[in-house]
Amino acid sequence: MLKAIRERPSLQGLILISPTLFWLIVFLLIPLALIVVISFGARGSYGNVEYTFNLNNYARLFDADYASILWDSIWIALLTTVFCLLAGYPLAYYIARTHPIRRSLLMFLVLVPFWTNFLIRIYAWMIILRGEGVLSAVMTALGLMQGPGLWLFEQVQLYTPGAVLISMVYEFIPFMILPLYTSLEKLDPSLLEAAADLGARPWRAFLRVTLPLSVPGIVAGSILVFIPAMGMFVVPDLIGGAKTVMVGNLIRNQFLTARDWPFGAAASMVLMVLTLGVTLIYTRTFGFGEELVR
């Protein structure tokens, strides 16, 4: 037995991946297959599933109401990714360039929020952003609750899309910072000296050297933020109120509240295809970066 394993590398590989393979087949592939089957079924009168074959569930997703939910989901996930990138890049750059001792402390601080339960952090944002909350109190005390200040507060107040965006960026930014930091930290500082030596001003050195060499980090970070952001339903539920419904909320409601499993399954399939599609277009455009492919 052992001899057979030793002589066949392919068998060794199979043994090594078998626990994960088992896990993925039982808890991912089989449920996924069930979802595919259910998505073509119909809702019975008592909320049960009738196994027929029809495309009605998918057709319903193109109704104006549902299509706009899908569109909003993509839009919010994209905005979350962009803001995470814009806010995360300078921080990751700073951490990668600072003294090694301070570097580990700062990375530690980036990860500290993970020590607190996700829901508790969302409730904290509710306390901050609500009408009579912390933010409004501070802004009132500073005399900013008028004119543009008031307008700004109304954009991010609890139960607005702005509030959802803020909370999502807050939630996902570490997933952007980590891969960005990894690729920026690998950047040899002598490359920037070489750029300066060859006559590049700092801004041009950044655009021609730093930015292209951090593309693998940008791509990895964007994927890590975009995919979970697409399926998020807790944040829009608690922070977005009735005004912001993402496809994640739609799916959850179909399964748990409306008991329309076939429609929920169809929405899940569409969410998956959309996420894959956007990710594919993105990676085809920017590449994975050599490091991720090889």
H/E stretch holding 7: helix 2-7
Q: 135 or 184: whose CB is closer to another protein?
A: 184
Number of residues engaging another protein in binding (CB under 8 A): 18
Assess 188 for contact with another protein (CB under 8 A): yes
Q: Which CB, 212 or 277, lies closer to another protein?
A: 212
Per CB under 8 A, 82 contacts another protein = no
Candidate residues 6, 102, 208, 243; the one interacting with another protein per rule CB under 8 A: 208
Residue from 20, 45, 117, 190 binding another protein (CB under 8 A) = 190
Distance CA 292, CA 232 (A): 26
Binds another protein by CB under 8 A, chosen from 86, 119, 191, 276: 191
Pattern 212-241, binding to another protein, x per CB under 8 A?
xx----------------------------
> Can residue 120 be called a binding residue for another protein (CB under 8 A)?
no
Q: Which stretch binds another protein (CB under 8 A): 25-33, 58-66, 193-201, 240-248?
A: 193-201
The alpha helices in 64-144, defined as continuous H runs, are 64-97, 100-111, 118-129, 134-141
Q: Smaller CB distance to another protein: residue 8 or 102?
A: 102
Task: Kindly state whether residue 193 participates in binding another protein, applying the rule CB under 8 A.
Answer: yes
Q: Which helix (H) or strand (E) holds 240?
A: none
95 vs 195, beta carbon nearer another protein: 195
Q: Is 104 in the site for another protein (CB under 8 A)?
A: no
**Closest approach of another protein to the CB of residue 247, in Å:** 37
Residue 167's closest CA among 127, 222, 221, 136?
A: 127
- In angstroms, the CA 289 to CA 191 distance is 18
Q: How far is the CB of 183 from another protein (least distance, A)?
A: 12
If one asks whether residue 196 binds another protein (CB under 8 A), the answer comes out as: yes
Token duo for residue 130: 């609500």
Phi-psi region of 160 (alpha: psi -120 to 50; beta: other; left: phi over 0): beta
Least Cβ distance, residue 132 to another protein (angstroms): 50
**CA pair distance 182, 230, nearest whole angstrom:** 24
Task: Identify which range of 86-94, 134-142, 186-194, 251-259 contacts another protein by CB under 8 A.
Answer: 186-194
**154 near another protein, rule: CB under 8 A:** no
SS3 43: strand
Written as one letter, the residue type at 267 is A
Place of tokens 């119909």: 42
Antiparallel, parallel or unpaired: β 49-50 and 42-43: antiparallel
Under a CB-based contact definition with an 8 Å cutoff, are residues 289 and 186 in contact?
Answer: no
Residue 185 exposed, middle or buried by CB count within 10 Å (0-12, 13-18, 19+): middle
Residues that bind another protein (CB under 8 A): 99, 188, 190-191, 193-201, 204, 208-209, 212-213
